[in-house]
Amino acid sequence: MIVDAHVHLMTDSTGWYAYKKSAGGSDARTWDASATVRLLDDSGIDQCWLFTLSGLYGFNDCGAANDEVIEAARRYPDRFVPFCTAFPNQDPATAAAEIRRCLDAGCKGVKFHPWLQSFPANSAYLYPSLELCARRRIPVLFHTGTPPYSQPFQVMEQARRFPDAPFVMGHFGKILSLDAIRSAELCPNVYLETSGAQVADLQFAAERIGVDRILFGTDLPIGGAASARWNMAKIASALPDAAHQRAVFGENARRLIS
């Protein structure tokens, strides 16, 4: 069973998002729940962790965006594991309340994007939200890379403060992959998600921390089914062992979801 730990619900029904345009793309295509399921089918992915894209922009309605994810997971419970988000830099207590609301409505994890959401990942504004996640052992996935806001060691600082929550470093730290791997080495509740990892990063991580905390991820629908195949090919090249691949492609992610 292939589980993708990094997929966005990329609609514009709860607000505008900038990704495609800022990347120089030709359009602002959207993928609603059923289009996302088709994309998973085309990509050979059975299930994914799903979170909003538009809701990561402060000018949109984050609560409505979370609701859209929750609704998508109700329609496709086998395909989507819903994750929610919140804006801790606006009001830490309100952010924690929004996360509590979403967890009570069925969300299984939390996504933060410090760069888009404008706070350093080690910010104290996150404490009430992370305290809640630690109490319920809810995985928290951070976008990592793109300094100064999303540095792996900033996330590690939070992981040490809240050892009962699993912290997932989205994109493997990107250009800061060395720091992401080091964080996982130092901190047993740190996990690494592979979109953004290079073959050499995956090999190096497997040597340092083994494969049990490496989670396959794609960042779909960005890049489409082609990107999913490229992300799978990287893992197949770096980790030829079949048991290792089973762990990375699904078992590790499933273990984190209660």
Partner 1 sequence: MIFDFHCHYSPAFFRYREYQMELDALVGEIGRHGVDLAVLGPAGEYAAYSTDEGNAFVADAVRRFPDRFIGFAAVNPWSRAAGIDALRRAHGEHGFRGLVLHPILQGFEANDPLVFPLVEAALALDMVVYVTGGAPYLAMPYKIADLAGRYPEGHFVMGHAGWDFHFDVPYCLEACPNLWAETSKNGLANLEALARKFGPSRLLFGSDYPFSSYAGEIEKIRLLPGLDDPGRERIFSTNARQLLRLESAP
Nearer of residues 111 and 171 to partner 1, judged by Cβ: 171
Q: Which two tokens stand for residue 137?
A: 């052992």
Two structure tokens written together for 151: 């540095």
Measured CA to CA, the distance from residue 7 to residue 222 in angstroms comes to: 9
141/111 Cα distance (integer angstroms): 5
Half-sphere exposure of 220 (CA within 13 A, CB side): 35
Cα angle for residues 88, 99, 46 (degrees, 5° grid): 115
d(Cα 77, Cα 75) in Å, to the nearest integer? 6
Applying CB under 8 A, the span of 16-24, 35-43, 78-86, 121-129 interacting with partner 1 comes to: 16-24
H helices of 60-211, where? 62-75, 92-104, 114-117, 127-136, 152-161, 177-186, 199-209
**Amino acid present at 100:** R
Residue 196 touches partner 1, criterion: CB under 8 A: yes
Nearer to partner 1, 128 or 217 (CB): 217
For 175, other C-beta atoms within 10 Å of its C-beta total 13
Asked whether position 113 contacts partner 1 by CB under 8 A, the answer is no
Q: Smaller CB distance to partner 1: residue 22 or 258?
A: 22
Q: Does 240 bind partner 1 (CB under 8 A)?
A: no
Question: Using the rule CB under 8 A, is 24 a contact of partner 1?
Answer: yes
Looking only at residues 52 through 71 of this chain, which bind partner 1 when binding is defined by CB under 8 A?
none
Which residue number, 116 or 130, has a Cβ lying nearer to partner 1?
Answer: 116
Q: Does 174 bind partner 1 (CB under 8 A)?
A: yes
146 binds partner 1 (CB under 8 A): yes
Binders of partner 1 in range 83-102 (CB under 8 A): none
Token pair belonging to 166: 């699993």
User: Quick check: 226 binds partner 1 (CB under 8 A)?
Assistant: yes
Binding site for partner 1 (CB under 8 A): 22-26, 145-147, 174-175, 178, 195-196, 198-200, 204, 207, 219, 222-224, 226-227, 229-230, 233-234, 236-238
